[in-house]
Structure 1
């Protein structure tokens, strides 16, 4: 074991210079003192061959512990773990050295930190080993696999040529590295072994900073949009995309991928591994592994690095936007300088006892945009002094899609024993937005989302207890009065009367009247269609816009006529001849056909969200 404390008599002191020279050659503690580490990465990037990696190599890694400038830390190579990340996906095992690295350990946000051997880029710190480890031991993604994300995949006939150049001979290669000599994992005794996939080998977490969000909103994200490898952190960090950061992006710099920005911010941060004039590679593992992505890329300022045996992470402020992340793959994420990521502008106006407006943008990324929008609206409604568990919201708004009619939002949403109203509002918006956004026929972008919410500081719900008609025997064309008993939440019941004129064409016999809330009526008019062709964009918008608000009482005539649902539209009281013509559409699930038609004939507004229904029978003579 190497020791710094060397004592002895005059003879030993005379031999001290010789002993120190030997120790510097044999003891890594002396060989990698902070003063001996290069303060910055090389200006010209060349690559260290994976085939030459072996136990005992000494290197240097760069990461930002505080501020914007990368700091060096020593790296001791322990060996190569063959197939540790998957078939033909190797991992280099290393021990981090230096005061800061030994104090903080492997930190969330450190992934992507470049590792150099003899001034040549070996790969990126990307994996933590074990739980509550007493040593800062990390896994390195080889740079050859990361460069595959940078470059276009070569054709089969070029594989051999590429395998003999570039990464294999230690020089920079603009093409994708080809097949390399299969590396081996070196054990303590020097024997090779294959290491199977292990739950103890995990990608370093990427801090997902929620700025302006409550713990409840972060928990909603965790429940409905879990993305492996992201560590949601509420309130620890911030964003200022207009703030200029003079320091250039270099290997070891912190960069962030933005999901939401503006009055609310969500961003994920890791470290840059490789930079050229047009692009960069970072992380050494995926953030989401969505493949092609479209996320703003910003510089980042590390406010502090929080050391913790449970979940050490970097506290981040995102700053100047410098481009867009375009690829999120197994071995790296790729960012392109100067490219603008498309964002969806969202305006949320809240009126009531306190008025305020929130303006933010959400990324245009199918797998994550709907949930990011819902969580942001949920937080926007919750994050005000007038919010309470009993608050009711009147939600109105539009979602604009280029080349199509706007999606209209109009509903009253009140808390229930199961769901608060702000969560209902977020889910209502998210449901409609998702149907439109995820429509396979959509070819044009979402232009904007504009929402206006009126906060009412009390719970406005009501239950329909009973309903009756003024007469049960009538003639076609008569007017009948429907009387419904409504009980408000914590209120006295009262009666609501609705005059209903029956169609003059009603045949003799029994007909039924449905007295109901809007949700029950929608289930009749828009029954689920299983296995059918998905609706196109225009039909989806028409169906969503035809939904009935929940704060009205509806009377619907149920007649013994055919009803068909085709392309999101409901055709009622169909003649038998037309029903026969449409009947073949049922074979390919393009239509649903029913033997009873639902014809809304009257409705009245209520001051509460209604639930309940009752069916009344009339005799037409």
Structure 2
């Protein structure tokens, strides 16, 4: 009997102990109830409340808020704005600052919304508050499933482009005018302070030089992003930290990490509300990405810098605790305990002095942000070790790894005063094309790049060409001499043997020798619509390089281009079927048949230009 009692007692004790221990862990992870919410209909003019944000360190501090009124539809349809005036020593010192976005405002102990908007150059700390009901409601709607990839034409010229620029919509974060006597699109609006604008989001760039940051700052600032260069090394890549009951509560500083490792790019804001594992923050869009997946981390504030133009918060990321999964009109939304998939990037620079430098970091996967981060990282890697003024010649070699597919090969050479900027864009162009394709199952597993730098210019132009004969039989060889003028005025020559294919029909033929960009302009295929990831990668790998010369010979014929495939010499019946009035799309007519398409081995020069000679194929 005693054994039975002892067994029962032990079982009960174990059950209670286990429940206690595991219950504490579970509650630490998820059981943090959100605050009471005050509906917008109960928010009254003249009401006084408090807001919370972090001015230094990790502890949020209170400051006063007086409700001045409500402006219906100030941001958009059914998106109202509460107007408030801040008070307190800290608020009156810094006014509304970049990084305050999301600071929760409470009236009578109930959450009414997030500080999210400001008046530029205001003489008082006036702010716009996004109602919490509208922040919650937009994220309660189930996100639409990601649409299947649709046919999208891609220009070959875009794939050959020497530079890539992030295209941020200029009106991404622009709100409507409030009681303004000026047109909404007037450039004087912000200067005159007659409109509320979203509080700028400070994005801290760590391990990145100011000179690099200056290149990208104009586009970022269009979207309300305030670039802040931070001293010190990059952000560490740390495992996901388990959320606790004190993790990311209302008023705490939060960062969204675009990159971490040897370089760090992190956007700072403030948590509006935590409801179990749900995190609401910012009160306005970050980039307006919609559904996304980026690391969300705790942070500590180094300092809030008072500034006559725009005070800002300098925050440093700590441990990742979750993922930002939504970025929409009324704020951002994230989930604790989730870790997004990241894309590793390795950059190796062989300097003009023979030293090897290596940088490693990882970035979130997004069709806008990923190419931008790789571009920033590449330019920074080159600029940190090479001259900022003068001519350089840079060779780029690397690859983008895609699970289950061939790797995307990257090989380009640039020369001149802008070589660094062009070389940094080389990986961004194909990476953007891949990510924007939206093909199902696309899984980019890494980017590996090598930059080799030498000082001086290697720019040259193809001045003229000469051939040993203009009449040739199929199967014979034409000897061509290329005369190349360097940027120093020296004339050099290069010999090229061109074999006429044995099946070339008799008749006139155009023989062009030129750089990849110029030759491509004369090709039948100017754009294509990839049907799969594999087809897109094949085209990326076969696209002509602007830094190489090509032999391109073609004859006039009747044919068509389907996708990225050229189909010359089609029978009249097929052409009639493809071009009849009852069908459209899927193909386009072509008047060329490619006879020769070969690359000329590279020499020490980066050569541009083209020359064309008429050749007759005789029997």
Question: Partner of 2:426: helix, strand, or coil?
Answer: helix
- Rounded Cα–Cα distance in structure 2 between residues aligned with 1:318 and 1:241: 11
Q: Which of 220, 230, 235 is equivalent to 1:239?
A: 235
Partner of 1:213: 208
Any conservation in 2 of the 1:127–1:204 contact (CA below 8 Å)?
yes
1:186-585 correspondence runs (5 A) = 199-224=194-219, 228-235=223-230, 239-242=235-238, 248-352=247-351, 353-385=354-386, 389-415=390-416, 420-490=418-488, 492-525=490-523, 527-529=525-527, 533-562=529-558, 564-571=560-567, 574-577=568-571, 581=574, 584-585=577-578
Match of 2:146 in 1: none
The 1:585–1:356 alpha-carbon spacing in structure 2 relative to 1, beyond 3 Å, is: farther
Q: Structure 1's 604 and 121: CA in aligned 2 closer, same or farther, altered over 3 A?
A: closer
Displacement of 1:59: 1.5
1:607 deviates by 1.1
Whole-angstrom distance in 2 between the partners of 1:557 and 1:367:
38
CA contact (8 A) 1:533 1:589 kept: no
Deviates more, 1:291-300 or 1:140-149: 140-149
Map of 1:604 onto structure 2: 601
DSSP-derived class of the 2:540 partner: helix
SS in 1 for 2:273: strand
Separation of aligned partners in 1, 2:570 and 2:71: 72
Q: Is the 8 A contact 2:416 2:456 kept in 1?
A: no
TM-score scaled by structure 2?
0.79
Q: Residues 153 and 620 of structure 1: is their aligned pair in 2 closer, same or farther, counting only changes over 3 Å?
A: closer
Is 1:55–1:79's contact at 8 Å kept on the other side of the alignment?
yes
TM-score (normalised: structure 1)? 0.78
* Superposition deviation, residue 226 in structure 1: 5.8
Q: CA deviation at 1:225?
A: 5.5
Q: SS of the counterpart of 2:338?
A: coil
Change in 2 beyond 3 A, CA 1:460/1:103:
same
Structure 1: gaps of 5 or more residues: 1-41, 155-184, 186-196
Where 1:538 maps in the other structure, the secondary structure is helix
Deviations 1:10-37 (A, max 9, x none): xxxxxxxxxxxxxxxxxxxxxxxxxxxx
Structure 1: distance between partners of 2:446 and 2:499: 42
Indicate if the aligned counterparts of 1:562 and 1:575 stay in contact, CA closer than 8 A: yes
1:449: Cα distance to partner?
A: 1.1
Alpha-carbon distance, 1:48 to partner: 2.5
Determine helix, strand or coil for the equivalent of 2:343. Answer: strand
Partner deviation per Cα, 1:569-589 (whole Å, 9 max, x = no partner): 345xx4443x75366446534
Equivalent residues in 2 for 1:140-219 (5 A)? 140-152=129-141, 199-219=194-214
Higher relative contact order (CA 8 A, sep 6+): 2
1:585/1:300 CA distance change after superposition, 3 Å: farther
Query: What are the ranges of 5 or more consecutive residues in structure 2 without an aligned counterpart?
Result: 1-31, 144-177, 179-189
For residues 583 and 373 of structure 1, the distance between their equivalents in structure 2, rounded to whole angstroms, comes to 48
Which one of the candidate residues 69, 74, 95 is aligned to 2:59?
Answer: 69
Query: Structure 1 residues 414, 442: CA separation in 2 closer, same or farther (over 3 Å shift)?
Result: farther
Q: Distance in 2 between matches of 1:95 and 1:473?
A: 85
Distance 1:44 1:580, change over 3 A: closer
3-state DSSP class of the match of 1:340? coil
Q: What does 1:69-148 correspond to in 2, within 5 Å?
A: 69-128=59-118, 130-148=119-137
Conservation of the 8 A alpha-carbon contact between 2:201 and 2:225: yes
Deviation at 1:283, TM superposition (A): 1.2
Residue aligning to 1:34 = none
Displacement after TM superposition at 1:482 (Å): 0.5
Return the alpha-carbon distance in structure 1 between the equivalents of residues 577 and 453 of structure 2: 49
* Distance in 2 of aligned mates of 1:151 and 1:602: 56
Contact 2:37/2:111 (<8 A) preserved: yes
Q: Is the contact between residue 236 and residue 315 of structure 1 (CA under 8 Å) also seen in structure 2?
A: no
**Cα distance between partner residues in 2 of 1:616 and 1:225:** 48
Partner Cα distance (2:198, 2:406) in 1: 44
Q: 2:42 aligns with which of 43, 46, 52?
A: 52
C-alpha deviations, 1:398-418, integer Å up to 9, x for none?
1122222111112222226xx
**Contact (CA 8 Å) 1:583, 1:593: kept in 2 or not?**
no
Q: Say if 2:55 and 2:304, in contact at 8 Å, map to a contact too.
A: yes
> Once the two structures are superposed, what CA deviation does each residue of 1:394-444 show, in whole Å capped at 9, x if it has no partner?
11111122222111112222226xxx1122123332222222221143432
Tell me, in whole angstroms, the C-alpha distance in 1 between the residues paired with 2:589 and 2:341. 42
Match of 1:29 in 2: none
**Which whole-Å CA distance do the structure 2 matches of 1:467 and 1:273 have between them?**
68
Q: Would you say how many aligned residue pairs link Structure 1 and Structure 2? A: 530
SS at match of 1:596: strand
Aligned to 2:256, what secondary structure does the other structure show? strand
Corresponding residue SS for 1:414:
strand
Q: Give the whole-Å Cα distance in 2 for the aligned partners of 1:206 and 1:225.
A: 10
DSSP-derived class of the 1:540 partner? helix
Provide, for residues 463-521 of structure 1, a one-character-per-residue CA deviation record: whole Å limited to 9, x for no partner: 11111112234444333211111122225211111122333444444333212222233
Q: Distance in 2 between matches of 1:385 and 1:504?
A: 50
Is the partner of 1:521 in helix, strand or coil? Answer: helix
Equivalents in 2 of 1:540, 1:44: separation in Å? 47
Q: Contact 1:60–1:72 (CA<8 Å) still a contact in 2? A: yes
Which of structures 1 and 2 has the bigger CA Rg? Answer: 1
Equivalent-residue separation in structure 1 for 2:504 and 2:600 (angstroms) = 20
Q: Identify the range of structure 1 (44-53 vs 457-466) with the bigger mean alpha-carbon deviation.
A: 44-53
Asked whether the equivalents of residues 412 and 608 of structure 1 are also in contact (C-alpha less than 8 Å), the reply is no
Q: 1:584 to 1:454 in 2, by over 3 A?
A: farther
Q: For the aligned residues, what is the CA RMSD?
A: 2.9
